[in-house]
Structure 1
Amino acid sequence: MQSDLFQFEDTAEWLTVGEGVQRQLLGFDDRLMMVKFKFSKGSCGALHSHEHSQVAYVASGCFEMTLGDTVKIIRQGDGYYVPPFTVHGCVCLEDGILVDAFSPARLDFLSTGNK
């Protein structure tokens, strides 16, 4: 299992995954996956946890990010790490994009679209 070698902004599918939240899959294989999330101001990434290690980069916008018991405001240029099984989520304070990498790949993202 692996993605195409290249993914292009203008042709990669955006999938709506919540009110004001869209997901675009970038490169992946079974061990690693990169995903872009687009948020509208006021939208939420609901609190959740998963078995995957996750790192993220704030490509644009501003978010209130919750990691476990810690809440921080993060902005363009910032990043964060989510250890496996850590409850996390965000509220978008101004339109923005998060670029996430997961290890291993989020196979559930493949089964819900964005192939």
Structure 2
Amino acid sequence: MTKQQNTLQFGDVAIHILSTSDELTVADLDLPAGAVASIHQHPHEEVNYVVSGVLDFMCNGEVTTLRAGEAIRIPPNHSHNIVCHPDAPGKVLTAWTPSRQDLIAKLTKSTK
């Protein structure tokens, strides 16, 4: 699949699936300056590594600001979101375990 075929759009946030298996999904997220990822939760453990930009990660009401080179773990079933600061776009490398079969299923539907 091409990068475009491996991309899901959630509002302003583009999720590019880089690799997936039964146990792990790895993706990069592109967030335009000022973008807000809606508050959500899922049963997957998640680790986010900031590649570029300045982003606020909210988990269970607590906000942590991260810059390039910093990471945060989001426990399973915790409400969370990401807000990209308005000065520049952000890029985040994300890993989920177990794999995000829900996202893979959406990709499969969108390529048919």
- Shorter chain as normaliser: what TM range? 0.7 to 0.9
Question: Which one has the bigger helix percentage?
Answer: 2
Q: CA RMSD in A?
A: 1.8
Deviations 1:24-68 (A, max 9, x none): 111110111101100001111111110001111001111111011
Q: Helix, strand or coil: the match of 2:53?
A: strand
Question: Which moved further from structure 2: 18-27 or 46-55?
Answer: 18-27
Q: Helix, strand or coil: the match of 2:89?
A: strand
2:32 maps to 1:44: no
Segments of structure 2 that go 5 or more residues without pairing to the other structure are none
Instruction: Return the TM-score normalized by structure 2.
Output: 0.86
Q: Which runs of 4+ in 1 moved over 3 A?
A: none
Give me the identity figure in percent. Answer: 25
Q: In structure 1, which of residues 18, 29, 32 is the aligned counterpart of residue 24 of structure 2?
A: 32
Segments of structure 1 that go 5 or more residues without pairing to the other structure are 5-10
Instruction: Return the TM-score normalized by structure 1.
Output: 0.84
CA distance in 1, matches of 2:24, 2:11: 27
2:11 maps to 1:19: yes
Q: In structure 2, which of residues 65, 71, 75 is the aligned counterpart of residue 83 of structure 1?
A: 75
